[in-house]
Amino acid sequence: MSKIQELRAKRFELYEQCKNYLDSKRDENGQIPADAREAYDKMYNDIQNLSMDIELQEKQARLDAEMNKSAGTPPLMGVGEPKDTAKSPTATNQYKDAFWASIRGRGNTLDIMNALSVGVNTDGGYLVPDEFDRNLVQALEENNVFRGLARTIRTQSGAHMIPVANDTMTAMWLDEGQTITETTTQFSQVQLNAHKLGTAIRISNELLNDSFFDLPGYIAERFGRVMGNTEENAFINGTGIKQPTGILHATAGGTRAVTAASETAVTLDEVIHLKYSLKAPYRTKAKWLCNEDLVYALRTIKDKNDRYIWADSLVEGEPSTLLGSGVITSAYMPTVAAGQEVLAYGDFSYYWIADRQSRTFKRLNELYAMSDQVAFLTTQRVDGKLVLPEAIQLLTMAGTKVSG
């Protein structure tokens, strides 16, 4: 067993002892006596010292390997560790290690800056490592039902143009030798921009220095939840000014196809009307989108044969259905009230989300130094628009919407 492995095993054994000791000293109220805290602090310090020893041993091992490589003869072609030329700079282990070393405030400053140089962007932050970026995207999707419905693209510039045909071509039957009449088709463009979204969290230095704390997982979960919720709200209700344009936008959103007769209730006929307001080609992949508050009303609607039009899913992970189409709920769809667009039906893949490059992180050391905390700031650039308004049909409650 190598020295590093021995230290790791010793640290893990001490960690188990420390944890068991703490559990054994709790009283019936869950409190820890003062004398037990002192003993615990000593064991905790021993763990921290072992962690620093391990880090030094690993650093020395890497340096030895580098020096031996430099002093030795050049390796033959095909011998040694293969170089993945297709791997992006932010996907390498060197970049990942340097990134998290900078986040934790550890390591040699010059080595870190050299490794992270490929990730420096104009905002002064570092692009997150590819592996972490995928984890963060997953967190965003788990906290953003809309991303699972829409079409997402990656862009490298600030704006992305989408050509849209506003009408369809026609064909004609011809006699022998008859001239074909030309069909005029009009095209327009939808522009996706790069609106900036950002948030920050604070983490204590105790957690940053704790080797057992899953910092990447924690940051991904927290940032994913906050930014995912903010995105979803914008994809539904966004104004298009410094943020995406939502599907409920008055002029650039879905088609307002049906107006309910009531301000407080939705009928079977209105639901059927909304479904068949959507053209047949879109209905093959169409889904319903509404607030949880509307679900109860939809579940209780019956047809003339006293059968519910709602069907609960029998497959885990699959949505329940309404008139044969899946139902997705979002807290950001309006609740039932006068003038509100409470139910959407359509093919949401015609809503395009543009992510510009990767997300970036900054470590802010001084902002909360007095409270012994470090702030982390993340930003991303994203836009979203419905490229075909006819692809999503909306049901609006009767009455006038109350502003504010």
Summarised one tens digit per residue, pLDDT across range 379-398 is 888 899 999 999 999 999 99
- Which pLDDT value is given to residue 279? 95
Determine whether domain 124-165+187-404 maps to CATH 3.90.1690.10: yes
Confidence of residue 8 (pLDDT cuts 50, 70, 90): confident
Six-digit token string for 308: 């519910």
Where do the structural domains in the chain lie, given as residue ranges? 3-59, 90-119, 124-165+187-404
Mean pLDDT of the chain: 77
Sign of the alpha-carbon torsion through 358, 364, 367, 372: positive
Average pLDDT (82-99) is 56
Alpha-carbon span 115 to 265, nearest angstrom: 60
Average pLDDT (272-300) is 94
Does residue 215 surpass a pLDDT of 90? no
Give per-residue burial for 40-71: e unless 16+ CB within 10 Å, then b.
beebbebbeebbeebbebeeeeeeeeeeeeee
Average pLDDT (226-251) is 93
Going by their DSSP bridges, the two strands 195-204 and 321-322 should be labelled as unpaired
Query: pLDDT tens for residues 52-85?
Result: 887 787 777 777 766 665 554 443 333 343 444 4
The partner residues of 328 in beta bridges, in order of sequence, read: 289
Six-digit token string for 326: 């899946």
- Which pLDDT value is given to residue 113? 47
**3 state SS of 31:** coil
Alpha-carbon span 36 to 160, nearest angstrom: 62
Query: pLDDT tens for residues 197-211?
Result: 888 878 777 776 665
- Which is nearest to 48 in space by CA: 213, 277, 266? 213
- Which pLDDT value is given to residue 299? 92
Alpha-carbon span 89 to 296, nearest angstrom: 50
Instruction: Say what percent of the chain tops pLDDT 90.
Output: 32
- Which pLDDT value is given to residue 392? 97
Give residues with Cβ within 8 angstroms of 179, minimum separation 6: none
Confidence of residue 145 (pLDDT cuts 50, 70, 90): confident
Give residues with Cβ within 8 angstroms of 288, minimum separation 6: 322, 325, 326, 327, 328, 343, 344, 345
Average pLDDT (171-196) is 72
Confidence of residue 246 (pLDDT cuts 50, 70, 90): very high
